[in-house]
Structure 1
Amino acid sequence: MLRHPRDWQSVLYLLLLPALAAWQWRYGFTWWLYLPMLFLTLGISVVHHNLAHLKIWRSRPLNRATDLWLSLLQGHPGFVFHATHNANHHRYRHGPQDAARTYRFGRDTNHLVGYLLHPFQATAALYPLFFRWLARLRRRAPGAFRYCLLQYLLVGGLWGGLAYLDWQKWLLLIWIPQLHGLHWLLATNYLQHAHADGHSRMDFARNFEGWLNPLLFNIGLHTAHHLHARTHWSRLPALHARYRGQIHPRLICGGLVPYMFTTFVLGPLLPRWRSQSLMQTSETA
């Protein structure tokens, strides 16, 4: 039933995250289970993102069910990817019309404060897109609009029901992990695009080649993903190899964690590690 055999990994994440949460709800908090849960929230974010580009099942009901399941796991509805990611970010590729371009908010930055602020700035910029998209959907496709509302109702119902059973467990095992996943979903845009050139055909995204890539569905190979948005994630390493020589060397990085340490910690102290913008314009708004 899977479109691609490698999507067993996606299904595993979809089952493992709630299983770890349920185990700790029943038997008590355990840090060595909680930390993998937090990592899985990153993987679930990527699975949710991937599903908006390419469905994983050959069956439409299974894809719908997976979409609803992901909305429950992430704590936000899946339609937001269509409204802001596919129709905005992938269309404009960090360019001047991209609503969440990192250089929109004050200046073209790449530092710790900018990274921490970006999820809040992006949320404020993207929510108007959600509302306009929903308003158009309500006029043009009432059935699809009701399906989007169903996603909100399911998330609200899950939150309310679990909080009623035990609000402390809900906070620790459901809400905080979901916030963690949402933070990374939004902050990753900053990691992948800050100081990249939003006017360039190839240098609009940063690429990470570290060992986390297979665990996070190769999302670090971001240029190839943008250029082939509907290609299955397992093919991104081969595509990245094809484009690697055309990308500015400063946008080819090793691991994500070393990059964050050198850019956000060492960069302010040592000019050698300080990030430099590739933007060819002074535009910031």
Structure 2
Amino acid sequence: MLVNRRDVHSLAYLAALPALAAWQWVHGFSLPLYAAMLFLTLGIGVIHHNHTHRRMWRNKHLNRATDLWLSLLQGHPTYVFYPAHVANHHRYRHGVKDVARTYRFGGDTNHLWGYLIHPLQAVAVLYPLFWRWLLRQYRRGSGAWRHALCQYLAVLALWGGLAWVDLEKWLLLVLLPQLHGLHWLLATNYLQHAHADGASRIDYARNFEGWVNPLLFNIGLHTAHHEHPRAHWSELTKLHPHYRDKVHPRLNAGGLLPYMFRTFLLGPFFPRWRSRPLMDPTEIR
């Protein structure tokens, strides 16, 4: 009943993360397995994002169940992608009305501190969006309100139950990996948009190629995703070449980890590797 059979890849990640946590809960901590868990938390965030744009199942109840499963694995309800991502980020594309635009916080930056602090800055401006969205759904008597409430209750029940059984294991095997995944989920906005041009029709996003895409559901092909938000993630490899030559060359950043190494670690010391803004300073506000 999958809409696209390539989402078997997604299902494997959704099963592997709790399996690795459960094995270590019973048998003890394993550094290689824990490292795999931390990587899988990145994948869960991308699946979370993808499932919002294109529902994974043909069956409504399976999609609702997947929302709850993603909420439990992510440590945060899935509904937040509707007000924060679809209605805000995709609508305004890093423009001045995008509430989590990277240049909103201390100017148009692209450096290590900006990357590290961006998740906290984003949370501060996104949570009012969440509350307003929930209040509107509640006033309308919408089923979306009840579904969002169930997601919160499910996360809190899981946390409370596991913490009661063993607080240290819950912190190590559940909460810390979830926080790691949430950091990457929010910080990815900085990687994809810092020093891009929020006023441009096409130069608003950065693209990454290499292993990040087969491992993390083509998350690096960001311009193609923005231009075709309803396209399944597996289709982005065919769409990306159409935009690769249209965006500013600096927005085709190559591999993700080499980009981060150049920009965040070498850039402060070597001007050759320093990131430079594409946006007109008069547009920044």
Give the TM-score, by structure 2 length. 0.99
Report what 1:26 is aligned to: 26
Q: CA–CA distance in 1 between the matches of 2:49 and 2:141?
A: 23
In structure 1, what is the equivalent of residue 36 of structure 2?
36
8 Å contact kept, 2:46–2:217: yes
Quote how far apart the aligned CAs of 1:113 are: 0.8
User: Which residue of the partner structure matches residue 110 of structure 1?
Assistant: 110
Deviation at 1:243, TM superposition (A): 1.1
CA contact 2:199–2:283 (8 Å) conserved in 1: no
Corresponding residue for residue 5 of structure 1: 5
The answer to whether the 8 Å contact 1:116/1:187 transfers is yes
In the alignment, is the contact (CA less than 8 A) between 2:109 and 2:194 conserved in 1?
Answer: yes
Deviations 1:17-57 (A, max 9, x none): 00000000010000010001000000000000001100011
User: What is the Cα deviation at residue 142 of structure 1?
Assistant: 3.5
SS in 2 for 1:254: strand
Equivalent residue letter for 1:50:
N
Question: Aligned to 2:210, what secondary structure does the other structure show?
Answer: coil
Give, in angstroms, the shift of residue 196 of structure 1.
0.1
Structure 2 counterpart of 1:258 = 258
Deviations 1:99-140 (A, max 9, x none): 000000111000011111100100001011001111111111
- State the Cα distance separating 1:143 from its structure 2 match: 2.4
The gaps in structure 1 that reach 5 residues or longer are none
| C-alpha displacement of 1:164 | 0.2
Deviation at 1:210, TM superposition (A): 1.5
AA in 2 matched with 1:52: T
1:202-281 matched pairs, under 5 angstroms: 202-281=202-281
Cα deviation for residue 146 of structure 1 reads: 1.4
The aligned counterpart of 1:69 is: 69
Rounded Cα–Cα distance in structure 1 between residues aligned with 2:178 and 2:34: 12
Conservation of the 8 A alpha-carbon contact between 2:195 and 2:275: yes
Q: Deviations over 1:195-242 (max 9, x none)?
A: 000011110000001212111000100000001011000010111011
Q: Distance in 2 between matches of 1:87 and 1:138?
A: 18
The aligned counterpart of 1:97 is 97
Distance in 1 (CA, whole Å) between partners of 2:114 and 2:141 is: 38
Distance (Å, rounded) in 1 between the aligned partners of 2:57 and 2:85? 21
Deviation track 1:165-221 (CA, whole Å, cap 9, x = no partner) reads 000000000000000000000000000000000011110000001212111000100
Q: 2:174 is aligned with what amino acid?
A: I
Amino acid in the other structure paired with 2:11: V
Seq. identity, %: 68
- Output the aligned Cα RMSD: 0.8
Inter-partner Cα distance in structure 2 for 1:73 and 1:109:
32
Matched, 1:186 2:189: no
Aligned residue in 2 for 1:134: 134
Distance 1:284 1:244 in 2: 25
Q: How many residues align?
A: 285
The Cα of 1:147 is off from its aligned counterpart by: 1.3
Please give the secondary structure, in 2, of the residue aligned with 1:246. coil
C-alpha separation between the residues in 2 aligned to 1:269 and 1:281?
Answer: 24
For residue 83 of structure 1, report the CA deviation from its aligned partner: 1.2
**Paired residues of 1:162 and 1:170 also in contact (CA < 8 A):** yes
What is the correspondence of 1:75-90 to structure 2 with a 5 Å cutoff?
Answer: 75-90=75-90
Q: Tell me, in whole angstroms, the C-alpha distance in 1 between the residues paired with 2:217 and 2:31.
A: 25
